[in-house]
Amino acid sequence: MRAEIIGVGTEILLGQIANSNAQWISEKLADIGVDVLHHQVVGDNVDRIADAFRLALSRSDAVIVTGGLGPTQDDVTRDGIAAALGVKLERRSEIEDFLRERFAGLGREMPAINLVQADVPEGARYILPERGTAPGLVCETADGRVLYAVAGVPAEMREMMENTILPDLVRRGGGAAIVSRVLRVTGVPESGVAELLDDLFAANTNPTVAYLASAGEVKVRLTAKAPTRGEAEDLIAPLAEEVAERLAPHVFSTGDEELEQVVGRELRARSKTVACAESLTGGGLASRLTRAPGASDYFLGSAVTYTADAKRDVLGVSKETIDGPGVVSEECAREMAAGARELFGAEVAVALTGVAGPDEHGGQPPGQVWLALDADDAREARGFRAPGDREQVRRWAEQAALDLLRRYLQGTLTS
């Protein structure tokens, strides 16, 4: 099956926003084995939109359109579809009812301009949205091709893609099903992950494995293909189990949950409070721990101590450590963690010190990171050399500190 993605919106052509929807959809289609051969972007002009749709339907089996389904005069995707298919728009009373209810739920009357969102090309089906007010459209052509149209707002687009369009494409793909499992790993490099798993995939092309590395994280993606979803699940299940077992202590998520969300959830589940002490990350660790709503349930504070004096005065790092191994050392990280725990009265504290770069500092090279964790029942430290530029070193350091905390909370510190 060949697919094509069309973004509608003058703001993309003006460079005001990126066409990030096309990337997201492309990735999802690759996951289910649908080949994307073209992207197009057109502005809010009904003739050019209709031309783009005609071209796409002449060369692709499935066309996915994002944007132009709002209620304003600029939103002409509906008209473009009608023109390309040579049909009229008809107003659907059941969508009208839905829109009135949606507005009533917000305590507002529906503005008259929203009525156009109840217009559907003759013969097309529609998808009612859980978010927003723009119904999606599913338009089939006489020769068996299909054009889907969804809102350009990413959250609204994703909802319809995940709930309706991706399953529909799998069904249309002649029954071939593709199942993926993602394991998000931290605390072990890409080469280490590959070493742990490579024998499983050496003679295996289905399921396949792919690794995607970023600062402090490796995404492991398993993908199985089979005639039916059930068979694909059966193919992937034993292998996924084996992979999960081998990587167990290093896997922090099997979905969209970020490392700081996992840590927050574990802290809340265990009714523990946390504090930090940071140097090279300059507040980045605390910023990530407080990104989620409700972080005040477990996060008490962080001492961002950028100077040796601040480490001594605020956290009580000893003169011996500062003058001896120095501020970028295991000893300093340990004393910072203990100091932060005491300062904020937290049950567990993590501390970070290091050299973000680009220059060396106190005889230590850029990328050198020391971190430590301090709790009643655990005292741990780790050192490593992070690759990349200043921003990447900071990201690596944050990931490592969050992971130390995760392993402590999940009881896998020594794995």
Q: For residue 348, what is the enclosing H or E element?
A: strand 348-354
Instruction: State the minimum distance, in angstroms, from the CB of residue 313 to a second copy.
Output: 7
359 near a second copy (CB under 8 A): yes
Least Cβ distance, residue 152 to a second copy (angstroms): 14
| Distance between CA atoms of residues 327 and 317, nearest Å | 9
Structure tokens at 203: 């003679």
- Chosen residue from 113, 291, 387, 415 binding a second copy by CB under 8 A: 291
For a second copy, the closer of residues 208 and 412 by Cβ is 208
Amino acid at 199: D
Tokens 């149209």 sit on residue: 149
Largest CA distance in the chain: 82
Tokens encoding 368? 């050198």
Q: Is 218 in the site for a second copy (CB under 8 A)?
A: no
Asked if 47 interacts with a second copy (CB under 8 A), we say: no
Beta strands 62-66; 35-42: pairing state? unpaired
**Are the C-beta atoms of 184 and 251 separated by less than 8 Å?**
yes
* Interface mask toward a second copy for 376-395; x: CB under 8 A: --------------xx----
Give, in degrees to the nearest 5, the angle at Cα 405 between 400 and 408.
125
Residue 17 is a binding residue for a second copy (CB under 8 A): yes
Residues 309-328 that bind a second copy (CB under 8 A): 309-310, 313-314
In the bound complex, what is the minimum distance in angstroms from residue 13's beta carbon to a second copy? Answer: 4
Residue 48 or 100 with smaller CB distance to a second copy: 48
Contacting a second copy (CB under 8 A), which of 124, 127, 303, 405? 303
Our CB check for a second copy shows the closer of 358 and 411 to be 358
128 binds a second copy (CB under 8 A): no
Nearer to a second copy, 17 or 104 (CB): 17
Q: For strand 62-66 and strand 208-214, is the pairing parallel, antiparallel, or unpaired?
A: unpaired
Under 8 Å between Cβ of 351 and 380: no
- Among positions 256-285, residues that touch a second copy (CB under 8 A) are 276, 278, 281-285
Q: Choose, by CB under 8 A, the member of 66, 114, 223, 305 that binds a second copy.
A: 305
Our CB check for a second copy shows the closer of 240 and 355 to be 355
Q: Three-class SS string for 235-279?
A: HHHHHHHHHHHHHHHHEEECCCCCHHHHHHHHHHHCCCCEEEEEC
Instruction: Give how far Cα 122 sits from Cα of 44, 81, 125, 129, Å.
Output: 22, 10, 9, 20
CB 134 within 8 A of CB 114: no
Interstrand relation of 348-354 and 274-278 (parallel, antiparallel or unpaired): parallel
State yes or no: residue 22 binds a second copy (CB under 8 A). Answer: yes
Q: Out of 95, 289, 337, 409, which residue is the one contacting a second copy (CB under 8 A)? A: 289
The token pair at 130 is: 């859980």
Cβ proximity to a second copy, 128 vs 292, nearer residue: 292
Q: Find the part of the chain contacting a second copy (CB under 8 A) among 81-89, 173-181, 263-271, 293-301.
A: 293-301
- The residue range among 28-36, 84-92, 232-240, 379-387 that interacts with a second copy, by the rule CB under 8 A, is 28-36
Q: How far is the CB of 42 from a second copy (least distance, A)?
A: 6
Calpha distance 357→46 (Å, rounded): 52
Q: Tell me 206's DSSP state.
A: S
Amino acid at site 246: R
Binding site for a second copy (CB under 8 A): 7, 12-20, 22-30, 36-43, 48, 52, 55, 212, 276, 278, 281-287, 289-291, 293, 295-296, 299-307, 309-310, 313-314, 343-345, 356-359, 361, 390-391
